[in-house]
Structure 1
Amino acid sequence: MTQHDFRASRRRALAQLSAAGLATASPWALRAAQAQTKMTIGVIYVGPKDDFGYNQAQAAAAAEVKKLPGIKVVEEENVPETTAVQKTMTGMIVQDGAKLLFPTSFGYFDPHMLALAAKYPDVRFSHCGGMWTEGKHPKNTGSFFGYIDECQYLNGVIAGHMSKSKKLGFVAAKPIPQVLRNINAFTMGARSVDPKITCTVIFTGEWSMAVKEAEATNSLADQGADVFTMHVDGPKVIVETAAKRGKMVCGYHASQAKLAPNAYLTGAEWNWLTAYKTIIEAAQAGKPHPNFLRGGLKEGYVKMSAYGPMVPEAAKTAADGIKAKMIAGSFDIFTGGLKDNKGAVVIPAGKVLKQTDLELEKMNYLVEGVVGSI
């Protein structure tokens, strides 16, 4: 029996014991139990909750949700993006009585979450990612995501101030639009400080592959990169490897400061509690399910890690000034005249892409200053 099967069997046993107990309970006890009923929420993670990355950022929000009144949270980690997640969601619905599920990983959406949503129309499903489309997907499903490229731009500003070699390193999983958007924003932030700066990217091809991440980090260090950032599920290996090589790091997903306190400059973090609370409050109030939630620094969907002690005041002032403009809505990352790293203009002069512009959701290029190819 696998660990997943054991957890599912345990849920079934607990549900049967609970049902037997209620069957013999007095009417008064039943009314008391019903009065104390909490809304059960399920959260599913593709990796460990303490990965210093994507899953930890979701788990941090879930930990805060547990403190909310009238809420019970059930969780399961290390659930693959296969039919295993359908079994997990079914268990949470049938055995635990979950009425709202947060399947947090990209690959959970189609076909897995959609299959369960059709089977259980009275259950709400909120997926982390950009997949939900009005008129195409069920009303009891939805998606939430954040404009974390704003934070990666600020990471780049700090990196631009700190780099001595004028060479930055970016370890990325796959060249999908969201990843490209982060690579580009980081590079553009750094080049706003010094246009001579370049950023070399290595794609590992996997969201989580420690060996490839270590190899990529060492390769970039060998090529002269002295400040690193990343877009993989768990940045731990990259942060620790870069620090061992005497390099500096800007984090991603969650804070990795305690992994390398003498190398960690700042980081781009998720603040998923904002989206979680919006979705939960709608469910508790019986309001329509929020199908499409997006936000950046202004809305509190993303945030920056605290600055490390080595970051000078000039760098902090520069980054904080741009951050204030982002929050005020007076700063746009992707503006007219932007070229890709092959010299072609990808955003015409005079055009500005706002965060809500669908063109950004389809980004398929690397900007000028990025060394690498898709």
Structure 2
Amino acid sequence: MKLHTTLAALFIMATMSAAPASADDKKIGFVYVGPAADYGYNTSMDLGRQYLEKNMKGIDTSTFENIPESAEVEQVMERLIQSGHGIIFATSYGYLDYAISLGKKYPDVKFLHAGGLKTSDNVGTYWADSDDGMYLAGVVAGSKSESGKLGFIGAFQIPQLFRSINAFTLGAQSVNPDATVTVVWTGGWWEPQKEAEATNAFADEGIDVIAEQVDSPITIAQTAEKRGVYIIGKDVNVMDRAPEAWLTGVSWNWGPMMENMVKEIHTGTWTPSHVRSDLAGGAAVLDPFGKSVSEETKAKVLALKDKIVSGEMEIWTGPIIAQDGTEIVGSGNALDMEKIESMDFLVKGVIGSTN
């Protein structure tokens, strides 16, 4: 059931009046905000779906692609429910309220939403924190940059993006306290033209390392390669697409987390909660280093990674200072999960707006 938006709408219109089938938790639906073949965020989620199919016998998965974060996603999820899907993975940030609304209408269906801080009787969230990996990538970027001027191309001004930008900046500043990160917002998860324009503008400004968090990293990676600047990847390893520009990246490994939640639903032990994993748990992965990264930098980053994984180091420990000089958290204290996941500030050294 790999349907694009227009085709999905036709199916929805044809079936909205039908009585829903009984919820079958062996039928699992996935809803993506972009194409599963974007070789970025949606690809990472679809790799999780493929992991389920490979490792769990007797399940049947279906996908809807290119579904916007609007009322349309509610209609798409209802279509899945009417065809008997008992588990729905709502994989994009803006789907949560729609999942909770539908959950009230269909209490026998389980909704698993990517991120967010809301749950209900049959809606839980899951997420892989990539902040630690972005901090380490920032160390690589700060070590490699000759100008001390870094760039970041982001889709939307939401907590998950602020976290990545801030972690990346703090990592860079740990090796170069004067490093700055200039942020450009594209206003969309997949905007290849804007992404290329931003990459070229950064190169023109003397920015020599670019990080990103959009749904597909390929445009940025290949444009950076042409311009002779370096990149930090996100979501999926695209080292082979831009081998000269590549420094490192942070990928996601959703499969084991998805499998655990589905198994809990099947055994009746699942309860709605905020399921989280990270670099230590294996759901976030530090990608291989590019050929231009020095052995000294590699050793430094891997030593820091060991400290993070062991719990010896916490990247969100103060002092953390916002753009305007406000102290967000003092020395020796750390941000808790709720403050991290509702992050609405950018740290000192970031050039860009939060709204």
Equivalent AA in structure 1 for residue 352 of structure 2: G
Equivalent AA in structure 1 for residue 67 of structure 2: V
**Aligned counterparts of 1:57 and 1:11: Cα–Cα separation in 2:** 30
- Deviation at 1:6? 4.7
Alignment of 1:224-303 (within 5 A): 224-303=206-285
Alignment of 1:116-195 (within 5 A): 116-133=102-119, 137=120, 139-195=121-177
* 1:77 counterpart = 2:65: yes
Secondary structure of 1:334 counterpart: coil
- Deviation at 1:173? 1.9
- Deviation at 1:7? 4.9
Alignment of 1:301-316 (within 5 A): 301-316=283-298
Secondary structure of 2:212 counterpart: strand
Name the counterpart of 2:77.
89
Equivalent AA in structure 2 for residue 4 of structure 1: A
Pair 1:324–1:290, CA change in 2 (3 A):
farther
Alignment partner of 1:52 out of 36, 39, 53: 39
- Deviation at 1:369? 1.9
Q: Is the 8 A contact 2:321 2:327 kept in 1?
A: yes
Alignment of 1:189-204 (within 5 A): 189-204=171-186
Name the counterpart of 1:371.
351
Secondary structure of 1:224 counterpart: coil
Name the counterpart of 1:357.
337
Name the counterpart of 1:39.
26
**Aligned counterparts of 1:38 and 1:177: Cα–Cα separation in 2:** 31
Q: Return 5+ residue gaps in structure 2 as ranges.
A: none
Secondary structure of 1:335 counterpart: coil
Pair 1:364–1:38, CA change in 2 (3 A):
closer
Pair 1:344–1:5, CA change in 2 (3 A):
closer
1:1-58 per-residue CA deviation (whole Å, 9 max, x = no partner) reads 932145558999xx99xx9xxxxxxxxxxxxxxxxx9811111111101112111110
Name the counterpart of 1:33.
none
- Deviation at 1:373? 3.0
**Aligned counterparts of 1:119 and 1:196: Cα–Cα separation in 2:** 53
Moved more, 362-371 or 141-150: 362-371
Equivalent AA in structure 2 for residue 83 of structure 1: A
TM-score (norm 2): 0.90
Pair 1:362–1:91, CA change in 2 (3 A):
closer
Equivalent AA in structure 2 for residue 145 of structure 1: W
- Deviation at 1:253? 1.3
Pair 1:306–1:48, CA change in 2 (3 A):
same
Q: Is the 8 A contact 1:214 1:241 kept in 2?
A: yes
Secondary structure of 2:175 counterpart: coil
Secondary structure of 1:278 counterpart: helix
Secondary structure of 1:323 counterpart: helix
**Aligned counterparts of 1:275 and 1:233: Cα–Cα separation in 2:** 20
1:217-268 per-residue CA deviation (whole Å, 9 max, x = no partner) reads 1111111111111122222221221111111111011112222122111111
Where do 4+ consecutive residues of structure 1 move more than 4 Å? Answer: 6-12
1:254-288 per-residue CA deviation (whole Å, 9 max, x = no partner) reads 11222212211111111111320121110111213
Q: Is the 8 A contact 2:40 2:234 kept in 1?
A: yes
* 1:109 counterpart = 2:96: yes
Name the counterpart of 1:3.
7
Equivalent AA in structure 2 for residue 76 of structure 1: F
What is the Cα-based RMSD across aligned positions, in Å? 2.3
Larger radius of gyration: 1
Alignment of 1:334-349 (within 5 A): 334-349=316-331
Equivalent AA in structure 1 for residue 70 of structure 2: T
Q: Is the 8 A contact 1:41 1:99 kept in 2?
A: yes
Equivalent AA in structure 2 for residue 109 of structure 1: L
Percent same amino acid at aligned positions?
Answer: 39
**Aligned counterparts of 1:319 and 1:334: Cα–Cα separation in 2:** 17
1:78-113 per-residue CA deviation (whole Å, 9 max, x = no partner) reads 122233322322222222x21111011122221x21
- Deviation at 1:291? 2.3
Equivalent AA in structure 2 for residue 120 of structure 1: Y
Pair 1:155–1:11, CA change in 2 (3 A):
farther
